[in-house]
């Protein structure tokens, strides 16, 4: 084969390969998280506040005054939902960092998930590092009688938060889900004699769960500050940092293919010249 015919053929191969490389990442989506495993328990976190005494002196009369506080029993019985740890590494969706979160929902045992007036939902629950996530729920305001039964379900999902600004002023945020699991199988708890808690107090506590099915964590509204004109960035650095890892991988693969084509063309030319 003559060398002048090699270049058109290789060029055609590159043209066919480029669209495949460019469109492939757009059809690959993040897999949904695994359905979480969890348990529920009615736990007594109640405690006694010890009596403390202290003495002050009246600055005008010199009289010694004794004060005291405490001495009461704090009733703190909760339902603890323990979600089993599942490994997760944050990843990029475009330029957005995706995190793992959990949602918990509950209802009266004899009610229905699709049409219930007793459903409570909690969302935006972050995993507790490399350990099980424990959510302690105070049901004081739920009007659940002794012996009443409550159903619980847990869902895992991936999402990222996008903040919007007007100049340097924060104006709001929106949450986008990019993958979610099915709701885990129902766990039923009976409100009766609570068990004794372990040595570690739950890291996440809420006095009254929200009724909203989806309630993103609000972002603080910081005061406005004068807009500062940033220095002009390096063009190449700016382009690379604005690209996701998928686009960078595509560019790298195209460069490698181009180098391969040049090497093959040189070798074929040497072979045909012999």
CA dist., res. 73 & res. 67, Å (int): 19
Does 151 lie in the same domain as 176? yes
Q: Which residues contact 212 (CB under 8 A, 6 or more apart)?
A: 121, 123
* Residue bearing tokens 């500050």: 225
The pLDDT score that the predictor gives to residue 73 is 74
Query: Among residues 152, 91, 77, 162, which one has the least CA distance to residue 122?
Result: 152
List the beta bridge partners of residue 64: 57
Judged by average pLDDT, the poorest of 48-62, 118-132, 173-187, 241-255 is 241-255
Question: Domain tally for the chain?
Answer: 2
pLDDT score of 207 more than 70: no
The pLDDT tens digits for 208-264 are 444 344 344 444 454 454 444 444 445 455 445 455 566 667 777 787 887 777 777
Q: Which residues of 19-36 are buried (b: 16+ CB within 10 A; e: fewer)?
A: eeeeeeeeeeeeeebeeb
Q: How confident is the model at residue 196 (pLDDT cuts 50, 70, 90)?
A: low
The pLDDT score that the predictor gives to residue 23 is 41
* Residue bearing tokens 């005061």: 223
Does 88 lie in the same domain as 17? no
CA dist., res. 206 & res. 139, Å (int): 10
Out of 172, 206, 240, pick the residue that ends a domain.
Answer: 206
The pLDDT score that the predictor gives to residue 77 is 82
Out of 206, 223, 255, pick the residue that ends a domain.
Answer: 206
Range of the domain at 23: 3-27+232-273
Query: Among residues 147, 152, 139, which one has the least CA distance to residue 81?
Result: 152
Query: Among residues 57, 134, 129, 49, which one has the least CA distance to residue 87?
Result: 129
Query: Among residues 94, 99, 118, which one has the least CA distance to residue 108?
Result: 118
Domain contains 216: no
Structure tokens at 93: 């969706």
Domain contains 76: yes
Question: pTM of this prediction?
Answer: 0.56
Domain contains 145: yes
Collapsed DSSP state (helix, strand, coil) of residue 6: helix
């Amino acid at each position: 084969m003559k060398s002048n015919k090699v270049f058109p053929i290789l060029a055609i191969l590159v043209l066919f390969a480029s669209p495949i490389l460019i469109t492939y990442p757009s059809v690959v989506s993040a897999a949904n998280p695994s359905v979480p495993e969890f348990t529920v328990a009615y736990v007594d976190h109640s405690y006694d506040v010890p009596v403390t005494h202290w003495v002050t002196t009246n600055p005008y009369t010199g009289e010694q005054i004794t004060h005291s506080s405490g001495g009461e029993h704090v009733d703190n019985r909760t339902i603890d939902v323990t979600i089993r740890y599942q490994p997760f590494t944050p990843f990029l969706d475009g330029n957005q960092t995706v995190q793992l979160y959990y949602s918990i929902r509950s209802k009266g045992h004899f009610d229905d998930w699709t049409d219930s007036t007793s459903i409570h939902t909690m969302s935006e629950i972050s995993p507790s590092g490399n350990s099980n996530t424990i959510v302690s729920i105070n049901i004081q305001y739920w009007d659940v009688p002794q012996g009443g039964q409550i159903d619980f379900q847990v869902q895992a999902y991936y999402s990222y938060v996008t903040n919007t600004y007007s100049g340097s002023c924060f104006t709001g945020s929106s949450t986008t889900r990019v993958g979610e699991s099915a709701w885990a199988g129902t766990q039923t708890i009976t409100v009766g004699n609570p068990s004794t808690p372990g040595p570690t107090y739950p890291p996440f506590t809420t006095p009254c769960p929200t009724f909203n099915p989806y309630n993103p964590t609000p972002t603080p509204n910081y005061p406005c500050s004068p807009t500062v004109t940033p220095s002009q960035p390096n063009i190449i650095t700016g382009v690379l940092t604005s690209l996701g890892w998928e686009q960078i991988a595509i560019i790298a693969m195209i460069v490698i293919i181009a180098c391969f084509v040049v090497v093959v063309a040189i070798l074929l030319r040497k072979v045909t010249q012999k």
